[in-house]
Amino acid sequence: MISKSIVWLVAAVVAASQPVADVAGVRLDDGFRLVGSDSSGLIATIRITAIAPGMTAGNFIARVFGDKGKPAGEMAPLAMRALEGADRRWVLLESSAGTLQKSYAAMLKANAAVLHQGKNLPIVRTGSYEFVYLVGPGVKRGAFVE
């Protein structure tokens, strides 16, 4: 199980020098844990206040920092969902040959999620969204970047 003391930095996502989103909160959710791994889903609630041209789910990158505070890697979201509107299902952002479809088959079967091929799911409305990143127990600090 991942530590509950993760620190996530940066309260704004910036595109073209204009803030377009801010991080409203983060939480861990074992519902996105991969079977056989020591991972959890880090869910970031992000309020998108303006739509940048060509904005997609893949623009919301999480940067992980190592023990010495230096960047140690980046992660694209594996799922997202809008918190406003009638359809609040997760959209799994499949990037390889059926990996998420197999790993989260129960969510798909229960109609709690739908599958989208690629990270390029367009974001066309302002509002609150949740983005999921898969993190392991060694991840303690991170930031959301453009």
Whether residue 116 contacts residue 91, with contact meaning beta carbons closer than 8 Å, is answered with yes
Show me where the domains of the chain are located: 7-85+123-145
Identify the pLDDT of residue 18: 57
Average pLDDT value over all residues in the chain: 82
Instruction: Give per-residue pLDDT as tens, 68-80.
Output: 778 888 888 999 9
Mean pLDDT calculated for residue range 52-65: 88
Phi, psi of 92 (to 5 degrees): -80, 125
| Residue-level pLDDT at 20 | 79
Higher pLDDT, 11 or 36: 36
End-to-end Cα separation, the chain, in angstroms: 29
Percent of the residues in the chain that have a pLDDT greater than 90, as a whole number: 34
DSSP string spanning 14-82? EETTEEEEEEEEEEEEGGGPPTTSS-EEEEEEEEE-SPPTT-BGGG-EEEEE-TTSSEEEEE--SEEEE
Q: What percent of the chain has pLDDT over 70?
A: 85
The mean per-residue pLDDT over the stretch 79-107 comes to: 89
CB contact set of 101 (below 8 Å; sequence gap of 6+):
92, 94, 108, 115
Q: What is the mean pLDDT of residues 141-146?
A: 72
Q: In the prediction, which pLDDT does 9 show?
A: 41
The predicted model gives 109-117 an average pLDDT of: 94
Reported confidence tier of residue 43, pLDDT bands at 50, 70, 90 = very high
